[in-house]
Every structure is written in structure tokens, then in C-alpha cells.
Amino acid sequence: MSRVGKYPVMVPNGVTVAIKEGKVTAHGKQGVLSLPLVPEVDVSLEEDKVWVKPRGTDKFARAMWGTTRANIRNMVLGVNQGFAKRLDIVGVGYKAAVQGKVLNLALGFSHDVVYPIPDDVVIRCDSPTAIAIGGPSKERVGQVAAEIRSYRPPEPYKGKGIKYANERILRKEGKKK
């Protein structure tokens, strides 16, 4: 069993954390994030450290202890430096382009896939086959990357599709004669 919750979350310079009305709010140069607290944990701010403690000894309270601490850490890191994911597009004729507030994807369908870019996420296309997704919320960046990847996940025979930059595709051998 992990004991992640017993360690404090360090608050770096330039980030302010406020705890009030069952909510933790972090302000930083990347933006503002907030997290509603569950009643099973107590959160306190001492100097530049955020401490999370469980209120009970039951399984759910102990689970929420580590989860809340990890979510607060991700908020503090996100408003300070942000999170990023990179997607690579593999395939002949497959490409992406950002046009205003939409991402246009040509993925071999009879039509282009149009993905509206959310306000809390920044999407860049460094090249027609590379997509960079960034923002302060780790959850939102990962969700947007997963939604874009789901339009054409990589297939195992030729490796064509949208894949994470660090993802390895297990390749299968083709049909034999």
C-alpha cells in the first residue's frame, strides 16, 4: 500500500494556495485551478506546505488521502509550469492543422475530422504530423490527447494512426502465403 499522502506538497514561489469552503484553489502564472474536497480528508496550509490528513481509518478515507494529495500536487505543478503531451501522426496523407479555435485532422476518412479546441487547453501543430497539447490541468491535457487519439488509434500491422510521442506500437506480422 502506498503512503503518498503522508508527504506534504511544497508550494513554490509564485504560486498561492487558498483553502476555504471545502475547496482548494491554486493561483499561478499558468492560471487558476480549484479542487473540491471530499469530507473524508482534512487539508491544511502551513507556511509553504500543504498537508493532507485522513479523518478516519476506513478504506475510502485512506484512498482519498493519497488521491487528494496527488491532485493538489498536480494543481500546484500545473499552475506553476503546466503540463504537455505530444501526439505523432503516422500514415500517408494523414496530417493536422490548427485553424483558429479548431483542429482539422485529415486521417484517411472521406471527410476531415474537426475537433474544437477547449478554452483551457492550447494546441499547436509544429509540423503537419506532430501535435503539441498543453495547459495547466493534467487531467484536461490528458483527456484532450486521448480524444484526439481516439479518432484513429494506431493499428498493429503498419503502425498507421495517431500515437503518443513516447508510445511504442507492438507490430504484428502480416498474412503469409
Rounded CA gap, 54 and 43, in Å?
Answer: 9
Summarize pLDDT for 55-82 with one digit per residue, the tens: 999 999 999 999 999 999 999 999 999 9
| pLDDT given for residue 1 in this prediction | 55
Q: Where are the domains of the chain?
A: 4-80, 83-164
Count of Cβ atoms closer than 10 Å to residue 102 Cβ:
14
| pLDDT given for residue 2 in this prediction | 66
CATH class of the 83-164 domain in this structure: alpha beta
Angle ∠(130,90,141) on CA atoms, nearest 5: 45
Rounded CA gap, 100 and 94, in Å?
Answer: 20
pLDDT over threshold 80, residue 83:
yes
Q: Which of 2, 12, 4, 5 is nearest to 49 (CA)?
A: 12
Summarize pLDDT for 95-142 with one digit per residue, the tens: 999 999 999 999 999 999 999 999 999 999 999 999 999 999 999 999
Same fold: 4-80 with 83-164: yes
| pLDDT given for residue 88 in this prediction | 96
Cα-trace Rg, the chain: 21
- Please state the CATH superfamily assignment of the domain spanning residues 4-80 in this structure: Ribosomal protein L6 (3.90.930.12)
| pLDDT given for residue 3 in this prediction | 84
